[in-house]
Amino acid sequence: MKKIFSFLGIIGILLASNCTRITENNDPVIGIWSHTSADGGTTQKQTVKQEWIFNDAYLGRYHTYHNKNLTVISDFSWVHKDSVYVISYPGLDKEEDIVLMTETEHGIILADKEGKILAIRE
């Protein structure tokens, strides 16, 4: 009888410990954001597109394209604190981006404190 109660106790503990809920993340930054710019002189104009894909696990994927050729692909992590988003790029020699989400006549953008646009929602 002791074995049955011990076995049921162990099963009860296992079931109770595996029933944790994952909190749902509905942050408005989740989705695809991009920024396209032109580089170079008049002879060789080069288009540079940066793309951020934010997911609900506070992670994402960062891409850079030069003339539609993928040149950088990396993961990033993000944190939302007091209306500010901090985007970190571990493994890349790239500084953290600290941005605010703002709505403009062009759509919703991520911009730094000076108003320089990092990305526009796609």
* More confident of the two residues 22 and 104: 104
Average pLDDT over residues 86-113: 94
Q: Is the pLDDT of residue 113 over 70?
A: yes
pTM for the structure as a whole: 0.78
DSSP string, 40-60: S-SSS-EEEEEEEEE-TTSEE
Beta-carbon contacts of 46 under 8 Å, excluding residues fewer than 6 positions away, are 38, 39, 40, 66, 67
- Residue 47 has φ and ψ, to the nearest 5°, of -95, 130
Please work out, in degrees rounded to the nearest 5, the angle formed at the alpha carbon of residue 47 by the alpha carbons of 79 and 64: 35
Average pLDDT over residues 88-93: 94
Say how many CA atoms lie within 13 Å of 11 toward its Cβ: 6
Average pLDDT over residues 82-98: 95
**What is the domain partition of the chain in residue ranges?**
26-121
Q: Is the pLDDT of residue 106 over 70?
A: yes
pLDDT at res. 20: 65
Q: Is the pLDDT of residue 15 over 90?
A: no
Mean pLDDT rounded to a whole number for the chain: 89
Least confident of 21-25, 51-55, 65-69: 21-25
Residue with tokens 């050729």: 69
CATH topology for 26-121 is Lipocalin (2.40.128)
